[in-house]
Structure 1
């Protein structure tokens, strides 16, 4: 039995490896076409923001005030790096820092009135870019895309299943 379980996992690994190559190739092919380029990249050029600045404004606009640590995690950067991003956005008048009343070590970032206006502009640009992207697909393909993304989210959020004794010994 151990052999068949082990063989099953090797087969799944091989399938995933083949699919990984296919996914990478398709994403690279999409990335080479300017018309399908990340709408956020073109916004950065238009508004003269860095990608982390645009993403920070988008997150703060969507979710409201965030701690520096939460913002760093959302941007996928270190807390040291997010400090520079926040410094620049604060100097430009897009956001403000506020210390927590209960714990002075905790700093929240929130959009200012100017930041809210910038966020609304960015939201319109993102929506326009996503509308163009989705418009390439027919209704059935869009539904399939949404279904796949929903499955990914559910599986990412699901607690890991413990390995069976057989799987542990394989």
Structure 2
């Protein structure tokens, strides 16, 4: 489901360096998704937690959109939503204009669970950010924002990269 973006030859060394740095961090502290410990504590699977987070953050989503965001097939997301629905966290709704389109939304119980999950995640991210000073945090935000913009528009990213090299 993810978009394959080819790595330019001159980036291979940098990609390798980043990979080595991430492994070095992992030797000192687990690189597990900060959501993983929440999954264990609340007895959810990672896809269930991610589904609750997306639905809590963005509201009702179609099953197809939820599958795309989770990086799973529509068949897999159906099982995830089935379990969350059985446990009272989500509900399915059909659109009157097109009965084939099924939206999934949080129930009040699901909204409550989302609030807990969001709080856990915010705390975990805060701990990581606490390792950096204010300037480093701002640099990190700028880099992530740049990556996000470029993922949204790959053709624009290539043009911007060419402009940066010429400067």
TM norm structure 1: 0.83
Q: Does 1:153 find its partner at 2:148?
A: yes
Q: Return the match for 2:38 from 37, 43, 59.
A: 43
Q: Does 1:77 find its partner at 2:69?
A: no
Shift of 1:91: 0.6
Q: Secondary structure at the match of 1:52?
A: helix
Q: Which residue of 2 aligns with 1:117?
A: 112
Q: Would the aligned equivalents of 1:68 and 1:108 in 2 still touch at CA under 8 Å?
A: yes
- Please list every run of at least 4 consecutive aligned residues from structure 1 whose deviation after the TM superposition is greater than 6 angstroms: none
Structure number with greater CO (CA < 8 Å, separation at least 6) is 1
Structure 1: any 5+ residue segments left out of the alignment?
1-11, 164-170
CA–CA separation in structure 1 for the residues paired with 2:15 and 2:154: 24
Structure 2: any 5+ residue segments left out of the alignment?
1-6, 159-167
CA–CA separation in structure 2 for the residues paired with 1:108 and 1:138: 42
Report matched runs for 1:81-100 at 5 Å. 81-100=76-95
Q: Does 1:128 find its partner at 2:123?
A: yes
Q: Which residue of 2 aligns with 1:65?
A: 60
Q: Which residue of 2 aligns with 1:144?
A: 139
CA–CA separation in structure 2 for the residues paired with 1:129 and 1:109: 27
Q: Which has the greater radius of gyration? A: 1
Q: Which residue of 1 aligns with 2:165?
A: none
TM norm structure 2: 0.84
Count of residue pairs brought into register by the alignment? 152
